[in-house]
Amino acid sequence: MIGMTTRTDVVPDLQRDDTGSVVFHYVDKAKIVESAIMGDVVTALCGAMFPVTRSPKPGSPVCATCQELMAMLRSFGSSD
């Protein structure tokens, strides 16, 4: 799909990583507000599905799979 871009942002899932911390995921920015207001489920780059209930703070842990996929997308110039 040449010419398409996806804007993503980091939002939390209530899943926890190995340290017990809440893990944050990359999600389409257009869906974040709608999910926060309406309670709709969003799908992260890694495939995790959840409603947006919290926003990340600087230094919050990010899902390793989402982080890898976002780095790949950025290397191809497909995302902001």
- What is the b/e burial string over 23-48, where b = at least 16 CB atoms within 10 angstroms of the residue's CB? bbbbbbeebbeebbeeeeebebbbeb
Q: What is the DSSP string of 37-72?
A: HH--EEE-TTS-EEE------TT--B-HHHHHHHHH
Give the mean pLDDT of 22-46. Answer: 90
Q: Does the pLDDT value for residue 53 go beyond 60? A: yes
pLDDT band at 4 (very low <50, low <70, confident <90, very high): very low
Looking at the chain, the whole-number percentage of residues with pLDDT higher than 90 is 32
Q: Which of the pair, 76 or 20, is modelled with greater confidence?
A: 76
